[in-house]
Structure 1
Amino acid sequence: MTLTFTLIDLAGSVALLLWGTHMVQTGIQRAFGATLRSLLGRALRGRLGAFLAGIGVTAVLQSSTATGLMTAGFAAGGLVDLVPALAVMLGANVGTTLIVQVLSFDVAAASPAVILVGVLMFRKASNTRAHDLGRVLIGLGLMLLALHQLLGLMTDYEDAPSLRMLLGAASTVPLVDVLLAAGLTWAAHSSVAIILLIMSLCAQNVVPPDAAFALVLGANLGTAINPLLEGATAGDPASKRLPVGNLLSRAVGVGMALAALGPLGRLMVTIEPDNARVVADFHTMFNLVLACLFLPVLSPYARLLGRLLPQRADPADPSRPLYLDPAARQIPMVALGNAAREALRLADVLGEMLAGARAALVEGDRKLIVETRRRDDILDNLNTAIKTYLTSLDPEQLAENDHRRLHEILTFVINIEQAGDVVDLNLLPHATKRVKRGLAFSKEGETELLAMMDRLMTNLRTAASLFMTEDPRTARMLADEKVAFREAESTATASHFERLRSGRIDTAQTSALHLDLLRDLKLINSHIVAAAAYPVLERTGALLPSRIAANEM
């Protein structure tokens, strides 16, 4: 029974320590998460600045895992080179040692006051950040309380000789200690909590210093596992370079430390006789030495990782945005330029759809029709990505001209996407109907349709150019094309009825199909003109509010 109660007390104290650590981490992330992420992103330019940023961010977050996941996200998105990202991880390893150093001193007596202040801030503060800082103080107080309980439990450890025998047997093989602590750290998502637990066990002589040092090495190894499992993009080996590099560097350091554990342990005990402090010092020394070893060789190390984990050679997904850089959202002028570049890709895709529809009408190829319809999904995905990107910009950072340009980009992408819907839902089904029923246009009718489609593709290229130049003369010319296109549609319709009366059209079905295609082409042209010409003409005052003539009294 003594063993059972001791295990329950030990598990409860460890759970309290883990929960306190969790509250500190989540409170800091809620209060300063965006600021810390922005700071980390700005520091990822040189290895030294990245190393110091890794120390600072991790010291505040109390989680090298959180820092690793953020940095892995930057690296996987191509926003940072591998060398500074690896430097951040080396700094994060050192940053985790700072709170351990603070808590290695006897500060448990402050836990009631810290929890009291934290509860008052958490319950009474109207400010959101103060509320989150109250959560941090509560978590810190719980950590101190848990450490105090662990020390008290270990003081009475002689009452549970079977538990002493169990832990003593597990601590006789250093490799077993490393694997045990690595597994616990991976499960807990916190090397800080596990190191503090090891420190408590060693302070009460539950485990000898050499075994505690091996456990510390395992905790350092285990904290590198989570970024590898959670931070890498599945399927692309290149996205795993950072977490794999971090894990390999830790594994190398652990292997070297294990090989010299005997003399290294004797040296540490000689320098620091206090068992709690010596664990914290060993943890700090291990990570500082590891940083000193790897910082100078990060460039060749990054090249090695690049060869081991090459970029996947698969063709790029055409529906994936290429220019919507999340980091550029802080500078509206750059962000709007990126969105405009992405919007031009919609015009290119619509041009491919029109070319495919034209070829399908001539050749009657069902496979070509299917391939052309798939491009509408590309339009939909890019349209959604651009709108999401633009609406995420802070309106307060946008000047008047920025708001105008944002509206013009949205107008362009919406109209181009709607033109694509007309091709997908109207034009291509008509081509499919023609193939299925074996319908054939007259030579004159087919020539008219193809001429109008060629004119439509020319207007689309003009609209894309106008979207970037915003030239009023080009805008007026494109708007005049709407009138010319409407007249061409009326002329083609009249010619069609003339051929129908003269009996030069085989069936009524061919007649209906021909008229439907003419209306669809006119509708697509209307969207193209509205996408680029109307915003410019409206801004210059050259756009009439209505085509209806005013009543004359």
Structure 2
Amino acid sequence: MEETVGVRILLDLIGGVALLLWGLYMVQTGIVRAYGARIRRFLGRVLKNRYHAFAAGLGVTAILQSSTATSLMLTSFAAAGLVQLGPALAVMLGANVGTTLIVQLLSFDSSIISPLLLTTGVLAYKRGARTVVKDLGRVAIGLGLMLLSLHLLLDSLAPAEHVPVVRALFAAVTNEPLLTLLIGAVLAWASHSSVATVLLTMSLVSSHFLTPFAALALVLGANLGSAFNPLLEGMGSGNPAHRRMPVGNLINRLVGCLIFMPFLAPIVELLESFYQNPVRLVADFHTLFNLIMALLFILPLNLYARVLEKLLPEVKTTDDLTTPIYLDASVIETPSVALACAARETMRMGDIIDTMLQQSMTAILTNDRMLVGEISDKDNAVDRLNEAIKLYIVKVTHGSLDDVEGQRAMEILNLAINLEHIGDIIDMNLMELAGKKIRGQLEFSAEGAAELEEFHRIVRDNLKLAMTVFLSGDVKAARQLLEEKSRIRELEFAAAEKHMARLKVGRVESIETSALHIDILRDLKRIHSHICSAAYPALEAAGQLNRTRLKPPSIRIGKKKQFSMNMNGRIAKEEAGN
């Protein structure tokens, strides 16, 4: 009987934790959807001073309710070279303190707030006319679910207090402080959240399943475990420099555990003399730990950053698509050489786009889920390279450039921007269509697939032609590239006509994939328009580009009058003949 009760309590515990994690996820995604871009811009502005960065990390994490999310965002900034290591580490110190604010807020009795948040959130999500209102409704639902999960955990654990088997199990697991710390670390790593682990610890200590000593050991483990997720996320990069920030944060957590573990027993005795409520004891210890570690590391942060830079030097590898290879900072003072480096990096960016374009059609025609994920990763690499090229060009233009160099700098920027737009179209549009086709298990007709493949082949061929024009400035090739725009329009019109003919005869495959077929043609045509933009600089430099394709109004009026006169003359002749 006791074993059955123990199993049921364990299942209730797992369900409560799952609900807590889901609520935390809803809050985080709701905030990111509503204000993610503003948060990233805000971080980009304040990451100049370590104290400002500390405050920013505290505030952003209190909003996102996840130091892991803040860490992943900062890791991407640091990898792209958008933020120095010292301020990034300061943000993480603030983020670790920010998580304690969430725990402090949720440690108070909030049984009345939960249903209010759930009701308000559902109404905002279902009835909200604006996207931001819906996202904030999602946040309110997430907060309500988190509070509800805490009450469910307390209610499900209350009967278990008198079950010897359950109490013996918890006592055995948390008897050794080092083992307890490791359990807390694993829980925080698995859940991607120290907040969830600390809240679970508060529920267990409130139900007398944990002693205060074991609870504080779990809190230390939770702080340690949450530092592993950003580090493991960045292990795929071949550049050790990309791991500086997560390694620095992990060392901070490790040092904290080494400092606090030997003195855990006297700390418990001291805190118990102030607190009768074990929940408050756990919440305040979590805050105390992170504040002390922030104070300990914030002053020597610049020295700490230099040590990490020596231990994890910058290594550029061709395998890492996100890392620029040719942007040599040492030649920035020589604009002609620096622009050649930027042009080579842009050509490399074009090679990645060509691979994405090739894989996109394979993914669409073969329903390959793996390729969809690979293309998304390549688009992230293209975005990183685009940012790196723009920052590099900005540094080059700080010096004095002649007209030719200034024009070349603008050509490089324009091509990089257009390539980045092509990557977005492939990732956000074509791969979205591929996902719809995969989910619906749809297939194109043989004729339809052949039309798409031919259209796609021409677009890829013209991408290679565009890169040739960019590299050589060949006017003949540039004219040929612009002439291809008319050919693409004609091919799109012809393909649409053939598709409509197949619909008229009732081809099942064509009916099922009609919207997909038309949308893919449209997106490939948009990609081709971005490709053709590479022809304009060469033609403009050669004086072979009109300012506008429209004819002057006087000419059009003259044509209209001439047409009217000709028609009147024909009518007069016909009447005379009659």
In the alignment, what sits opposite 2:129?
A: 126
Which residue identity lines up with residue 291 of structure 1 in the other structure?
Answer: A
Equivalences for 1:201-212 in 2 at 5 Å? 201-212=204-215
Q: Is the Cα–Cα contact under 8 Å of residues 408 and 535 in structure 1 kept in the other structure?
A: no
The change in CA–CA distance for 1:199 and 1:536 in structure 2 (over 3 A counts) is farther
Which residue identity lines up with residue 287 of structure 1 in the other structure?
Answer: N
Aligned pair partner of 2:299 in 292, 296, 299: 296
Q: Is the Cα–Cα contact under 8 Å of residues 181 and 219 in structure 2 kept in the other structure?
A: yes
The change in CA–CA distance for 1:533 and 1:15 in structure 2 (over 3 A counts) is closer
- Measured after TM superposition, the shift of residue 18 of structure 1 is 1.4
Aligned pair partner of 1:418 in 465, 482, 491: 465
> How many angstroms apart in 1 are the aligned matches of 2:132 and 2:186?
34
> How many angstroms apart in 2 are the aligned matches of 1:215 and 1:143?
20
Which residue identity lines up with residue 6 of structure 1 in the other structure?
Answer: I
Q: Is the Cα–Cα contact under 8 Å of residues 118 and 133 in structure 1 kept in the other structure?
A: yes
> How many angstroms apart in 1 are the aligned matches of 2:384 and 2:205?
57
Equivalences for 1:51-450 in 2 at 5 Å? 51-232=54-235, 234-312=237-315, 320=324, 380-381=351-352, 410=414, 418=465, 421=468
The change in CA–CA distance for 1:194 and 1:324 in structure 2 (over 3 A counts) is farther
- Measured after TM superposition, the shift of residue 418 of structure 1 is 2.5
Aligned pair partner of 1:537 in 533, 543, 555: 543
The change in CA–CA distance for 1:2 and 1:322 in structure 2 (over 3 A counts) is same
After superposition, the C-alpha distances for 1:291-318 in whole angstroms (9 at most, x for unaligned) are 0000011112112212221222658999
The change in CA–CA distance for 1:162 and 1:317 in structure 2 (over 3 A counts) is closer
In the alignment, what sits opposite 1:517?
A: none
TM-score, normalised on structure 2? 0.61
Aligned pair partner of 1:49 in 52, 57, 62: 52
Mean CA deviation greater in 377-386 or 210-219 = 377-386
The change in CA–CA distance for 1:324 and 1:4 in structure 2 (over 3 A counts) is farther
> How many angstroms apart in 2 are the aligned matches of 1:387 and 1:44?
19
In the alignment, what sits opposite 1:497?
A: none
After superposition, the C-alpha distances for 1:225-264 in whole angstroms (9 at most, x for unaligned) are 0000113552111111111110011000011110111111
Q: Is the Cα–Cα contact under 8 Å of residues 324 and 389 in structure 1 kept in the other structure?
A: no
Find the structure with the greater CA-based Rg: 1
Q: Is the Cα–Cα contact under 8 Å of residues 73 and 231 in structure 1 kept in the other structure?
A: no
Q: Is the Cα–Cα contact under 8 Å of residues 241 and 309 in structure 2 kept in the other structure?
A: yes
The change in CA–CA distance for 1:280 and 1:530 in structure 2 (over 3 A counts) is closer
Q: Is the Cα–Cα contact under 8 Å of residues 17 and 193 in structure 1 kept in the other structure?
A: yes
The change in CA–CA distance for 1:80 and 1:233 in structure 2 (over 3 A counts) is farther
> How many angstroms apart in 2 are the aligned matches of 1:409 and 1:148?
55
After superposition, the C-alpha distances for 1:527-551 in whole angstroms (9 at most, x for unaligned) are 99964352573689799x9xxxxxx
The change in CA–CA distance for 1:530 and 1:37 in structure 2 (over 3 A counts) is closer
Q: Is the Cα–Cα contact under 8 Å of residues 86 and 242 in structure 1 kept in the other structure?
A: yes
The change in CA–CA distance for 1:110 and 1:530 in structure 2 (over 3 A counts) is closer
Q: Is the Cα–Cα contact under 8 Å of residues 343 and 409 in structure 1 kept in the other structure?
A: no
Which residue identity lines up with residue 32 of structure 1 in the other structure?
Answer: Y
Q: Is the Cα–Cα contact under 8 Å of residues 67 and 96 in structure 2 kept in the other structure?
A: yes
> How many angstroms apart in 2 are the aligned matches of 1:386 and 1:253?
37
> How many angstroms apart in 2 are the aligned matches of 1:275 and 1:348?
62
The change in CA–CA distance for 1:216 and 1:537 in structure 2 (over 3 A counts) is same
The change in CA–CA distance for 1:419 and 1:15 in structure 2 (over 3 A counts) is closer
In the alignment, what sits opposite 1:429?
A: none
> How many angstroms apart in 2 are the aligned matches of 1:14 and 1:160?
21
- Measured after TM superposition, the shift of residue 387 of structure 1 is 13
> How many angstroms apart in 2 are the aligned matches of 1:141 and 1:378?
45
> How many angstroms apart in 2 are the aligned matches of 1:138 and 1:411?
44
Q: Per the alignment, in what secondary structure is the counterpart of residue 107 of structure 1?
A: coil
> How many angstroms apart in 1 are the aligned matches of 2:234 and 2:415?
37
Q: Per the alignment, in what secondary structure is the counterpart of residue 172 of structure 1?
A: coil
- Measured after TM superposition, the shift of residue 100 of structure 1 is 0.6
Which residue identity lines up with residue 299 of structure 1 in the other structure?
Answer: N
> How many angstroms apart in 1 are the aligned matches of 2:119 and 2:536?
63
After superposition, the C-alpha distances for 1:170-229 in whole angstroms (9 at most, x for unaligned) are 222111111001001111111111111101111122101111000000000000000001
> How many angstroms apart in 2 are the aligned matches of 1:99 and 1:542?
58
Which residue identity lines up with residue 537 of structure 1 in the other structure?
Answer: G
Q: Is the Cα–Cα contact under 8 Å of residues 342 and 412 in structure 2 kept in the other structure?
A: no
> How many angstroms apart in 2 are the aligned matches of 1:61 and 1:162?
39
In the alignment, what sits opposite 2:527?
A: none
After superposition, the C-alpha distances for 1:433-455 in whole angstroms (9 at most, x for unaligned) are xxxxxxxxxxxxxxxxxxxxxxx
Mean CA deviation greater in 271-280 or 230-239 = 230-239
Which residue identity lines up with residue 128 of structure 1 in the other structure?
Answer: T
- Measured after TM superposition, the shift of residue 158 of structure 1 is 2.8
TM-score, normalised on structure 1? 0.64
- Measured after TM superposition, the shift of residue 159 of structure 1 is 3.6
Aligned residues: 401
The change in CA–CA distance for 1:70 and 1:163 in structure 2 (over 3 A counts) is same
Identity of aligned residues (%): 46
> How many angstroms apart in 1 are the aligned matches of 2:318 and 2:266?
54
Q: Is the Cα–Cα contact under 8 Å of residues 10 and 150 in structure 1 kept in the other structure?
A: yes
> How many angstroms apart in 1 are the aligned matches of 2:227 and 2:308?
16
In the alignment, what sits opposite 2:453?
A: none
In the alignment, what sits opposite 1:9?
A: 12
Which residue identity lines up with residue 123 of structure 2 in the other structure?
Answer: L
Which residue identity lines up with residue 418 of structure 1 in the other structure?
Answer: L
Which residue identity lines up with residue 540 of structure 2 in the other structure?
Answer: Y
Structure 2: give runs of 5+ residues left out of the alignment.
330-335, 356-381, 391-408, 420-461, 480-532, 552-578
After superposition, the C-alpha distances for 1:312-337 in whole angstroms (9 at most, x for unaligned) are 26589999476799xxxxxxxxxxxx
> How many angstroms apart in 1 are the aligned matches of 2:344 and 2:105?
60
> How many angstroms apart in 1 are the aligned matches of 2:541 and 2:68?
49
The change in CA–CA distance for 1:248 and 1:313 in structure 2 (over 3 A counts) is same
> How many angstroms apart in 2 are the aligned matches of 1:221 and 1:197?
16
The change in CA–CA distance for 1:314 and 1:381 in structure 2 (over 3 A counts) is closer
> How many angstroms apart in 2 are the aligned matches of 1:32 and 1:250?
29
> How many angstroms apart in 2 are the aligned matches of 1:2 and 1:38?
52
- Measured after TM superposition, the shift of residue 421 of structure 1 is 4.8
Equivalences for 1:437-476 in 2 at 5 Å? none
